[in-house]
A and B are shown apart, each in its own frame.
Chain A
């Protein structure tokens, strides 16, 4: 080893070396103390141990004093100097050694917590292969510009955010969304930096690189979340501000009254509320870090602590419990051909952005040109290519929120909507229509009526498949003692059928968007701590009203991340029981840590004041309690 590498080694391991040396000296001095004739040598070695171990502590203490902060290192330095002054060399060396050992171990364990997120960032490759005028060039990933085309080989990591313009592959998005199953990607699909291209080559048009990628944005948010103080943390910080000066005053007072120097110095040693201030942040940082690696973005300790109290989870039905891919299941004409019913409805709905409207318009386009089951052929002259029919624009149309649409075409008025809309307009529903509707709703389908010039001419049943995971997720929450509720704009019968299929405790149907907020407020008034799960865009108001708003499929949609307290990067319902349980575990963990710290301080104070605990023992217990809360908090990293 040359001189330079020795210096480097020393700098890197300075804390360990200093601690070990001070420990060895301490051990030596202490053993020598048992030999009567070596008392002077023993004292000298113990003082040396104190100086070796205490130099760095004293240096920081000096900085603390010059920067007018009152930290534990100042207290430890004072205690060590005091112990030497009164001739308690053993105590001085022991305090310094135990403190160095403790802070060395604390630094090491905290490093693990602090680097938990770094692993995610390291997923992004440093270089990217860019296509420039038909030639491939290797460039630093951070320097790729927007709209440049990046080529990623099979097995390669994707270096930028972008849209696939060529190729087809399965991409493992675990670093961003936490999903372990690869996602199929083809033309036009969005891919994220840091994800892994598993099968075929992909060409990607860059939309973001460097610090402007989804992964980097998520990590920045996670760090902000980790740094945001939870209510417990702010409370403890306020307490700590007074605690340390109070203990110093107590130490001075104790000396004035008892003239017992050891007692006063011991008070100084335990005068830093170590475990109390360290415990909660470690728990919260570990939990948020763990969640981030599983594709759940928690917005901060405050939200996490609140989420730990959740006792009711409300799910929006469409797109949350269901896949949100509504398709037409059946069309029934009453005195009119099925196809004509669909055409009329599609025209009226064409300009609407509602998901039911999209399904109806799509179905009308996909229908074969000649009607097969109606008798009347309604083929039109303007049929487009590939057997897709065009849907004419309505002359005008109005949306009645939560009820349906009213449009005009070819001089006819077409109303497409639910019972409420028909009732509003005074349209009677014949019994055979009502029978049909009841039958379809019993299967969990949503039915809209199609009305032409005041007469019901047909009905369209629409179906939105449940997510396969929905029943098991609801069951997992119920097992954890949490009530589940489904909120939907659908009618009661459809809602009941879906609720039964999912196994959910309760459902609230026929809700207009603003009603969902009211329902949540109602549960809150009943004393529930409510989490609301939705898509984060349409449900933004109810997510904001709930105690904890959980947005699904948030990767890439900043609005959803903004409004929610918790965002699931993937459309993966199974993260919800995980997130709720993690929050509960975190809340317990914080309580355990606070409890342990308070217990330690109480026992120590009592011990010191009754002279059972002296300097070294006080320091040992203090450091042990700090390490214990850190290790306890870190359990959440592996939850």
Chain B
């Protein structure tokens, strides 16, 4: 089943950083659609919940050097 989750990243410091996080998230297994908005810091992920694990999203964002908050 497809599920959607949201995070908020308040410390994006450049628009290209947001695109990099978007690319990285879309490479996580089970992710169907990702939108990362630089201006609002909103991250929206649509994923297959039988494959993807939301914890992996947090780790991916953190590994890029940003702090996701649940929103």
Contacts and interface: CB of A to CB of B under 8 A. Distances in A.
Interface of A: 15, 56, 59-60, 63-64, 67-73, 103-104, 106-107, 110-111, 113-115, 223, 226-227, 272, 274, 277-278, 281-282, 284-285
Nearest to B24: A67
B39 A282 contact: yes
B33 interface: no
B11 A107 contact: yes
Q: Which applies to chain B's interface (DSSP): helix, strand, loop or mixed?
A: loop
A107 B12 contact: yes
Nearest to A274: B14
A111 B23 CA distance: 22
Q: Which applies to chain A's interface (DSSP): helix, strand, loop or mixed?
A: helix
B20 A277 contact: no
B30 interface: no
A91 B12 CA distance: 26
B17 A71 contact: yes
A278 to B, nearest CB: 6
Interface in B1-60: 8, 10-17, 19-20, 23-24, 27, 35, 37-42
Given A59-B65, A60-B64, A67-B27, A285 B20 contact: no
Q: Which 9 A-B residue pairings sit nearest by Cβ, starting from the closest?
A: A71-B16, A67-B23, A103-B13, A281-B39, A107-B13, A114-B41, A285-B39, A111-B10, A227-B37
B40 A64 contact: no
A73 B17 contact: yes
Contacts of B15: 277-278, 281
Given A15-B11, A60-B17, A281-B38, 17 more contacts: A60-B64, A60-B65, A63-B63, A63-B64, A71-B16, A73-B14, A73-B17, A107-B11, A110-B11, A110-B13, A111-B10, A114-B8, A114-B10, A226-B37, A226-B40, A227-B42, A274-B14
A107 B13 CA distance: 5
B14 A63 contact: no
A223 B42 contact: yes
A278 B14 contact: yes
Q: How large is the interface on B (under 10, 10 to 19, 20 to 34, 35 or more residues)?
A: 20 to 34
Given A15-B11, A60-B64, A114-B10, A272 B16 contact: yes
A494 B41 CA distance: 52
Contacts of A59: 65
10 contacts: A60-B17, A63-B64, A107-B12, A107-B13, A110-B13, A111-B41, A114-B39, A281-B39, A282-B39, A284-B39
A282 B11 CA distance: 14
Given A15-B11, A56-B65, A107-B11, A64 B39 contact: no
A621 B42 CA distance: 29
A110 B20 contact: no
A626 B41 CA distance: 18
B11 A111 contact: yes
Question: Which of A59, A60, A226 gathers the greatest number of chain B CB atoms within 10 Å?
Answer: A60
A69 B23 contact: yes
B27 to A, nearest CB: 7
Given A15-B11, A60-B64, A72-B14, A110 B19 contact: no
Given A226-B39, A227-B40, A281-B39, A71 B64 contact: no
Nearest to A117: B40
A67 B65 contact: no
Contacts of A104: 13
A604 B23 CA distance: 31
Contacts of A272: 14, 16
A71 B20 contact: yes
A69 B14 contact: no
A114 B16 contact: no
Nearest to B10: A111
Nearest to B62: A11
